[in-house]
């Protein structure tokens, strides 16, 4: 596991965390993103100071011997020790090396600095194995001085190595174990020191170490080394020196520490984002189902019925039997009632969408959101739900406009061409019928006045022998033919117009349905998919930040 984690370099992990925080914006809990942002700042800064120096801090309860141990390690009395508790109130930095790490210590905000003379220079190598160490003697965390605790916590956040100093009386200290538990991911950079062993018998010492190991394991730090020593007598100090020397030589404490920090915050963020169900894509079926439900709820069938009825009515008025056309005009236009009729212009509105229909459309959206968010962690359910729940009024408004737009388009496409031709024929037939009627009326009037018969031409006089029509007088033919043919043509046209009406209704339904589908995609599906994509991206970034390859 560790080897896998180490495969992603720390700077890359920190930048992945940074990108994740930028992408997440306010989608995640500020209690988690706040510390994560602070970590990014801290890590960038610490990385900038490089690995020339390894910073170790002595942490622990007041009187545990931190200052005494500092002096023992540095071979000096730089740190004040004492019986008055608490003794240390501001952090002291002892550094081993040629140059003072100004910038690093400035960043750590440590004012008291002590340059350790290289007492322990190795005769063979010619340098002190602690060369490159900054050791911080830190105020306690358990005295009445709150400022001490704050300073200790601040330092503990910034250093590379955490060395907890305790003694036989204090190793069970609750406060210390709370800190240890909180930083249980930092096992690789934590050391436990049992001080004052000069005051213990061998048995007591063994007992203490066993107890400490048990407590550390319970805190989640089973592998943390326990160093037994006496700052006063100097016994065992060499063991701690060896631990520090190794850390200084490996130069890995800084990256281990920051890596542990990064893993901790990234894992917490990842638990909010959820690791399950990566790359969630909303199936096209979900969008189609919602569009269908919204079309049904929009009352589109009223509109398409009205489109068909309107077309039949217009046809009747244009190509119907001329003698009864006017009756049609007396009735209101079906589309007019929906404010969609010819000449209505401006915004149109569907039949007042009833409360039930509104509820149906709201419900359809809610169900769709539910389907999509079903498998998501709670935090992300809210994010996706918010994205996929449009303002219902705006949604209905857009659907309404889409429907009326489809009606207007079909209306603007004009009447079928055959109407003009049939209308012309109908007018000719009507005129013929009227002419025949007048002719016959004149003949009847002549007969009434006993005028000599005016010869009435028959069809064969005009066209030669024309079958059964040959003997029919032309005025009679005009009247009867005009009326009968007009009625037959009207009946035929009505049939044809009914087919056209159905086709127009279908066209309106199809184009409105497509428009509603587009609106659904824009207002509901795409915004949700975008949030799901953000989540997928966060999962990737946070996995990298946590130290794993994607």
Ligand X SMILES: Nc1nc2c(ncn2[C@@H]2O[C@H](COP(=O)(O)OP(=O)(O)OP(=O)(O)O)[C@@H](O)[C@H]2O)c(=O)[nH]1
- Which residues form the interface with ligand X (CB under 6 A)? 60, 62-68, 81-83, 85-88, 139-140, 195-196, 198-199, 230-232
Q: Which is nearer to ligand X, 231 or 407 (by Cβ)? A: 231
Burial of 524 (0-12, 13-18, 19+ CB in 10 A): buried
Q: Which is nearer to Mg ion, 87 or 529 (by Cβ)? A: 87
Q: Which stretch binds Mg ion (CB under 5 A): 59-67, 92-100, 295-303, 323-331?
A: 59-67
- Cα–Cα nearest to 515, from 409, 359, 389, 369: 409
- What does 65 bind: Mg ion, ligand X, none (CB cut-off 5 to 8 Å by kind)? ligand X
Q: Which is nearer to Mg ion, 191 or 376 (by Cβ)? A: 191
| Count of positions on this chain that bind Mg ion (CB under 5 A) | 4
CB 216 → ligand X: shortest distance, Å?
20
Token pair for 20: 């994740």
Query: In the Cβ-directed half-sphere of 431, how many Cα atoms lie within 13 Å?
Result: 6
**Alpha-helical runs (H) found in 374-417:** 378-388, 392-412
Q: Which is nearer to ligand X, 66 or 504 (by Cβ)? A: 66
CB 183 → Mg ion: shortest distance, Å?
21
Q: Which is nearer to ligand X, 196 or 411 (by Cβ)? A: 196
Question: Binding marks (x or -) toward Mg ion, 73..102, rule CB under 5 A?
Answer: --------------xx--------------
CB 80 → ligand X: shortest distance, Å?
7
CB 87 → Mg ion: shortest distance, Å?
4
Token pair for 298: 């929009």
Instruction: Examine residue 67 and tell whether it contacts Mg ion (CB under 5 A).
Output: yes
* SS3 category, 142: coil
CB 141 → ligand X: shortest distance, Å?
9
**Cis amide linkage into residue 86, ω under 30° from 0:** yes
Instruction: Examine residue 373 and tell whether it contacts Mg ion (CB under 5 A).
Output: no
CB 212 → Mg ion: shortest distance, Å?
21
DSSP state string for 79-116: S---SSSS---S-EEEE-SSS--HHHHHHTT--EEEEP
CB 198 → ligand X: shortest distance, Å?
5
227 near 193, Cβ under 8 Å?
A: yes
CB 67 → ligand X: shortest distance, Å?
3
DSSP state string for 468-530: GGTTSBHHHHHHHHHHHHHHHHHHHHHHHHHHHHHHHHHHHHHHHHHHHHHHHIIIIIHHHHH
Tell me the pairing of strands 190-194 and 161-166. Answer: parallel
Q: Which is nearer to ligand X, 19 or 71 (by Cβ)? A: 71
Q: Which is nearer to ligand X, 195 or 529 (by Cβ)? A: 195
Query: In the Cβ-directed half-sphere of 331, how many Cα atoms lie within 13 Å?
Result: 14
**Rounded Cα–Cα distance for residues 136 and 105 (Å):** 10
- What does 64 bind: ligand X, Mg ion, none (CB cut-off 5 to 8 Å by kind)? ligand X
Instruction: Examine residue 68 and tell whether it contacts Mg ion (CB under 5 A).
Output: no
Instruction: Give the CA angle between residues 454, 455, 458 to the nearest 5°.
Output: 145
- What does 54 bind: Mg ion, ligand X, none (CB cut-off 5 to 8 Å by kind)? none
**Rounded Cα–Cα distance for residues 450 and 436 (Å):** 21
CB 229 → ligand X: shortest distance, Å?
7
The set of residues, in sequence order, having a beta carbon less than 8 Å from that of 299 and lying 6+ positions away, is: 350, 351, 353, 357
Q: Which stretch binds Mg ion (CB under 5 A): 58-66, 194-202, 216-224, 299-307?
A: 58-66
Q: Which is nearer to ligand X, 70 or 263 (by Cβ)? A: 70
- What does 416 bind: Mg ion, ligand X, none (CB cut-off 5 to 8 Å by kind)? none
Q: Which is nearer to Mg ion, 66 or 257 (by Cβ)? A: 66
Token pair for 501: 């009406």
Q: Which is nearer to Mg ion, 141 or 509 (by Cβ)? A: 141
Question: Binding marks (x or -) toward Mg ion, 16..55, rule CB under 5 A?
Answer: ----------------------------------------
Token pair for 164: 């907890």
Report residue 342 CA to chain centroid gap.
44
Residues that bind Mg ion (CB under 5 A): 66-67, 87-88
């Amino acid at each position: 596991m560790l080897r896998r984690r180490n495969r992603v370099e720390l700077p890359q992990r920190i930048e992945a965390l940074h990108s994740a925080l930028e992408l997440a914006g306010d989608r995640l809990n500020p209690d988690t993103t706040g510390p994560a942002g602070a970590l990014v700042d801290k890590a960038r800064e610490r990385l900038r100071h490089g690995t020339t120096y390894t910073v170790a801090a002595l942490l622990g309860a007041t009187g545990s011997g931190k200052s005494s141990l500092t002096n023992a390690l540095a071979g000096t009395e730089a740190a004040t020790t004492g019986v008055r508790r608490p003794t240390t109130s501001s952090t002291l930095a002892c550094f081993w090396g040629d140059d003072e790490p100004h910038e690093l210590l400035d960043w750590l905000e440590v004012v008291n600095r002590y340059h350790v003379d290289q007492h322990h220079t190795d005769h063979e190598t010619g340098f002190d194995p602690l060369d490159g160490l900054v050791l911080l003697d830190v105020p306690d965390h358990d005295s009445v001085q709150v400022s001490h605790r704050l300073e200790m916590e601040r330092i503990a956040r910034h250093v590379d190595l955490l060395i907890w100093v305790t003694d036989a009386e204090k190793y069970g200290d609750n406060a210390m174990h709370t800190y240890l538990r909180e930083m249980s991911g930092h096992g690789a950079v934590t050391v436990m020191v049992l001080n004052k062993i000069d005051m213990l018998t061998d048995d007591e010492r063994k007992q203490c170490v066993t107890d400490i190991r048990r407590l550390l394991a319970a805190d989640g730090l089973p592998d943390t080394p326990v160093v037994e020593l006496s700052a006063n007598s100097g016994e065992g100090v060499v063991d701690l020196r060896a631990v520090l020397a190794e850390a200084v030589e490996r130069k890995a404490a800084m990256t281990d520490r920051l890596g542990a920090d990064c893993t901790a915050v990234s894992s917490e963020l990842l638990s909010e984002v959820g690791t399950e169900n990566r790359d969630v894509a909303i199936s096209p079926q979900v969008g189609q189902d919602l569009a269908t439900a919204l079309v049904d709820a929009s009352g589109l069938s009223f509109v398409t019925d009205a489109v068909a009825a309107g077309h039949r009515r217009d046809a009747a008025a244009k190509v119907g039997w001329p003698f009864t056309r006017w009756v049609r005009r007396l009735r209101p236009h079906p589309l007019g009632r929906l404010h969609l009729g010819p000449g209505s212009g401006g915004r149109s509105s569907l039949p007042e969408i009833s409360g039930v229909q509104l509820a149906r459309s709201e419900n359809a959206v809610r169900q769709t959101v539910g389907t999509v968010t079903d498998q998501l962690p709670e935090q992300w359910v809210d994010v996706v739900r918010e994205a996929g729940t449009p303002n219902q009024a705006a949604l209905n408004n857009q659907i309404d406009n889409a429907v009326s737009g489809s009606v207007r388009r079909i209306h603007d496409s004009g009447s079928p061409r055959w109407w003009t031709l049939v209308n012309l024929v109908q007018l000719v037939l009507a005129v013929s019928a009227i002419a025949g009627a007048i002719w016959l009326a004149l003949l009847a009037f002549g007969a009434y006045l006993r005028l000599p018969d005016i010869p009435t031409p028959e069809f064969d006089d005009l066209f030669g022998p024309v079958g059964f029509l040959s003997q029919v007088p032309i005025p009679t033919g005009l009247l009867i033919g005009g009326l009968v043919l007009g009625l037959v043509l009207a009946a035929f046209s009505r049939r044809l117009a009914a087919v056209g009406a159905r086709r127009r209704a279908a066209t309106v339904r199809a184009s409105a349905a497509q428009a509603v589908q587009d609106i659904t995609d824009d207002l509901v599906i795409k915004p949700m998919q975008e949030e799901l994509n953000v989540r997928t991206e966060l999962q990737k970034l946070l996995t990298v930040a946590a130290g794993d390859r994607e």
